[in-house]
Amino acid sequence: MNLNSRHLLKAITWRIIGTMDTLVLAYIFIGSIRIGFMISIVEILTKTLLYFYHEKFWFKSTVIKSRKRHMYKTFSWRFIATCDTIFLGFIFTSNFVIGFKFGGLELLTKMFLYYIHERVWYRISFGLDKHRRIKTNSRLKSK
């Protein structure tokens, strides 16, 4: 397996969790399961793509400490994703106020869910074995 497989699988698992959260919050907050489904479907495309590139960026990061790294990743991802949610909320309701309210509510629930997702994936070695060997060999050669 390669790193892109890991990034893709992380993106898919997060999107499943995120989509379920969006659907529930849209129904509770906006009061429309139809709008919730529409936003959720479009979000699958926009946020999976955004998350994939977010993962690639953070994989190259020099922030090593896991808790600090996960907090930075949580906040940077939430900023990107909340902007996307606000925009989609506006597109589907034609109302920026609803978009901002929906994005604000989602900000709270998804930051918690994302942090848990990151902690779980930190413990999973899928797609990392070859990468770890390459890093170790290159460190040994440079000494």
Q: Are 36 and 22 contacting, i.e. CB atoms less than 8 angstroms apart?
A: yes
What is the CB neighbour count within 10 angstroms for residue 56? Answer: 12
- Secondary structure (H, E, C), 78-125: HHHHHHHHHHHHHHHHCCHHHHHHHHHHHHHHHHHHHHHHHHHHHCCC
| Measured distance CA(8)–CA(14) in Å, rounded | 10
pLDDT in tens, the chain (143 residues): 577 888 889 888 988 998 899 898 888 878 888 988 999 999 889 988 998 899 888 888 887 777 888 888 888 988 998 999 899 989 988 988 888 988 888 888 988 998 899 899 988 888 886 655 555 445 445 55
| Start-to-end Cα distance in the chain | 28
- 84: Cβ–Cβ under 8 A, 6 or more apart, which residues? 43, 46, 47, 50
